Amino acid sequence: MARAPAADLLKIDHLLCFALYSAGHAFTRLYKPLLDPLGLTYPQFLVMIALWENDGQTVSEIGDKLLLESSTLTPLLKRLETAGLIKRTRDKDDERVVRITLTRQGLALKDKAASIPETIGCATSLTIGDVKKLASEIKTLRQKLQTALAA
């Protein structure tokens, strides 16, 4: 593979990491006014989505799905529990394991959040097919980066 001159590489518009970072920042700003009425931050919203997909997961399972460390996830889960959206209980078979379940209030919040993906989708002007393709490409990129980190 031919290398680009250093002067070309050291430009903001040529940095893939900046394009992803700034797009992520734009997404966060777009989500904020949609999530504020629900009383959720974006990371809390991701946890709720994970639980709406599969209630009763362990902290480790949620962390694996969302790529979050337990030290980041635990305070977030405590805030969701204080808000009455989830319940944290020790697993009956292994007390070291904490299982997360939705409360009635947490389940009911799903209906209030149902329009958010469509609103975000409209803002991007991407088709479902485009979104799936782009998400797949970004996941592949993430996997390659994780592989490089492990090497």
Q: CA 42 → CA 24, 30, 64, 122, 145, distances in Å?
A: 11, 10, 17, 18, 24
pLDDT at 134: 95
pLDDT at 115: 94
In the chain, where the domains are located: 12-113, 115-151
Would you say 122 and 85 are in contact if contact means Cβ atoms under 8 Å apart? Answer: no
pLDDT tens, position by position, 55-111:
999 999 999 999 999 899 999 999 999 999 999 999 888 889 999 999 999 999 999
Q: Which class is 12-113 in CATH?
A: mainly alpha
pLDDT tens, position by position, 11-27:
898 899 999 999 999 99
